[in-house]
Amino acid sequence: MAITPMHFAERMSRLGTESAFDVMVRARALEAQGREVIHLQLGEPDFDTPAHIIEAGVEALRSGETHYTPPAGIPELRQAIADEVSRTRGVTVEPEHVVVTPGGKPIMFFLILALAGEGDEVVYPDPGFPIYGSVVNFTGAKAVPLPIREERDFRFDLDELRSLVNERTKLVIINSPANPTGGLLTDEELRELARLAVEYDFVVMSDEIYRRIVYGDFDQPSIISYPGMQERTVILDGFSKTYAMTGWRLGYGVMPQDIAAAVTRLAINCNSCTPGFTQIAGVAALTGPQEPVEQMVAEFQRRRDVIVAGLNDIPGVTCKLPLGAFYAFPNISHYGDNIADYLLQEAGVATVDGSAFGDHGKGYLRISYANSLDNIEKALDRMRAALLKMG
Ligand code: PLP
């Protein structure tokens, strides 16, 4: 029997969603009718998980890793993560600072739930990953969008940041390299954010899930390494993007110990723990050969160059060169808003409207180039024809 809306808790009306999954369902429905669709909507590498990681997971299953595990993660993986983060972020991290979860997403859910409530404010990037604002609204806290500006190469403006934080700010969320824009934050933004975090005593969640996917020589600094920040930073990272492990569901947070205790308590109330065999595969990913990651990033760079050149070649479309992640975020405002549905129906190309990532994403499209060069070229031809038809 269907449950009527009056049975839902009021907070459910404030919970958003991630449109990329809705687009996937609509694209699959078209495919079921015999249409051919090129999938450029989902944020997942199209590569297979490297073989040595799969082997480690299978071997773990065969050797009996089929039981509950410690809620914050198995000691070997927490240690490997602490070593990796210490090595790459310029701070010393201990295993006690690490909480392992099924994917990186639970870290954002648990952290926002742990820190934000009625009367609190949380600042988050707009356009940005849609789950940030969704969960903040769910808690009853005020979600405060921080505009991400194309004219600043998809970074935020320092004056705007200063105008949005105050004594009620509990948490500021940043994401670099960014979904959906591919933009990178630089020392200039991080330094000022760190200064404000100390002044107003708020926590920063730094979503670094795309940290390894950067193009060129840019060495992405982490906010955790700035003065006064280790005691107020939560790094979110994981295995989905770097090691093409989206379906394994393995991610983690690195945070001060009191926050780790709160996040772990929420995990115990929700999922108990993360499967042991995926965690053992995670140890193999972090401690094993990194060439597969380098090869994947090199391939993404080739595709990025093709898609950005092809988009800029379409009259009325302009696309900045993304510096990281695997998304292009072209400005298509010449053709109006909400054209992803038109492109799906008319051209059989699945993308996501920029507005799904916040009001400041209106007039843009998010195109994931985690697809073959052949398909990217075909999609460009089809999008060009469909857009020119609009005039
Ligand atoms: N953060 C950002 C910005 C993302 O784009 C995603 C996935 O799309 C995640 C976090 C969560 O990834 P996962 O839960 O697969 O680790």
CATH number for the domain spanning 143: value is: 3.40.640.10
Residue-averaged pLDDT of the chain = 96
User: Measured in angstroms, how far is the CA atom of residue 304 from the centroid of ligand 1?
Assistant: 20
Q: Which atom of ligand 1 is nearest to the CA of 43?
A: 8
- With a 6 Å cutoff on the Cβ, whether 179 touches ligand 1 is yes
Q: Which atom of ligand 1 is nearest to the CA of 129?
A: 3
**Contact criterion met (CB below 8 Å) for 151 and 196:** no
Question: What is the pLDDT averaged over residues 225-243?
Answer: 97
**Same domain, yes or no: 193 and 324:** no
Q: Taking 70 as the threshold, does the pLDDT of residue 263 lie above it?
A: yes
User: Measured in angstroms, how far is the CA atom of residue 352 from the centroid of ligand 1?
Assistant: 16
Q: Which pLDDT score, from 0 to 100, does residue 172 have?
A: 98
**Same domain, yes or no: 317 and 221:** no
72-102 pLDDT, tens per residue? 999 999 999 999 999 999 999 999 999 999 9
DSSP character for 345? I
Query: What's the total number of domains in the chain?
Result: 2
Question: What is the pLDDT averaged over residues 2-18?
Answer: 84
Of 287, 308, 324, the residue at which a domain comes to its end is: 287
Q: Is residue 60 part of a domain?
A: no
Of 287, 302, 322, the residue at which a domain comes to its end is: 287
- With a 6 Å cutoff on the Cβ, whether 209 touches ligand 1 is yes
Q: Which pLDDT score, from 0 to 100, does residue 301 have?
A: 97
**Same domain, yes or no: 182 and 251:** yes
Give backbone dihedrals phi and psi of 127, rounded to 5 degrees, phi first.
Answer: -70, 145
Q: Is residue 59 part of a domain?
A: no
Q: Taking 80 as the threshold, does the pLDDT of residue 369 lie above it?
A: yes
User: Measured in angstroms, how far is the CA atom of residue 321 from the centroid of ligand 1?
Assistant: 21
- With a 6 Å cutoff on the Cβ, whether 206 touches ligand 1 is no
Q: Is residue 295 part of a domain?
A: yes
How many other CB atoms sit within 10 Å of the CB of residue 256?
Answer: 15
**Same domain, yes or no: 343 and 317:** yes
Q: Taking 90 as the threshold, does the pLDDT of residue 166 lie above it?
A: yes
Q: Which atom of ligand 1 is nearest to the CA of 105?
A: 14
pTM tops 0.75, yes or no:
yes
**Same domain, yes or no: 118 and 231:** yes
Burial 311-328 (b: 16+ CB within 10 A, else e): beebeebebbebbbbbbb
Of 270, 287, 304, the residue at which a domain comes to its end is: 287
**Same domain, yes or no: 179 and 107:** yes
User: Measured in angstroms, how far is the CA atom of residue 3 from the centroid of ligand 1?
Assistant: 30
293-332 pLDDT, tens per residue? 999 999 999 999 999 999 999 999 999 999 999 999 999 9
321-358 pLDDT, tens per residue? 999 999 999 999 999 888 999 999 999 999 999 999 99
User: Measured in angstroms, how far is the CA atom of residue 318 from the centroid of ligand 1?
Assistant: 26
**Same domain, yes or no: 31 and 80:** no
User: Measured in angstroms, how far is the CA atom of residue 216 from the centroid of ligand 1?
Assistant: 23
**Same domain, yes or no: 28 and 73:** no
Tell me the pLDDT band of 1, cut-offs 50, 70 and 90: low
Q: Which atom of ligand 1 is nearest to the CA of 325?
A: 5
Q: Which domain holds residue 263?
A: 66-287
Give the CATH number for residue 374: 3.90.1150.10
**Same domain, yes or no: 102 and 165:** yes
**Same domain, yes or no: 91 and 226:** yes
If one residue of 185, 240, 242, 279 were mutated to test the ligand 1 pocket, choosing by the most ligand atoms within 8 A of its CB, it would be 240
The per-type count for the chain, helices as H runs and strands as E runs, is 12, 13
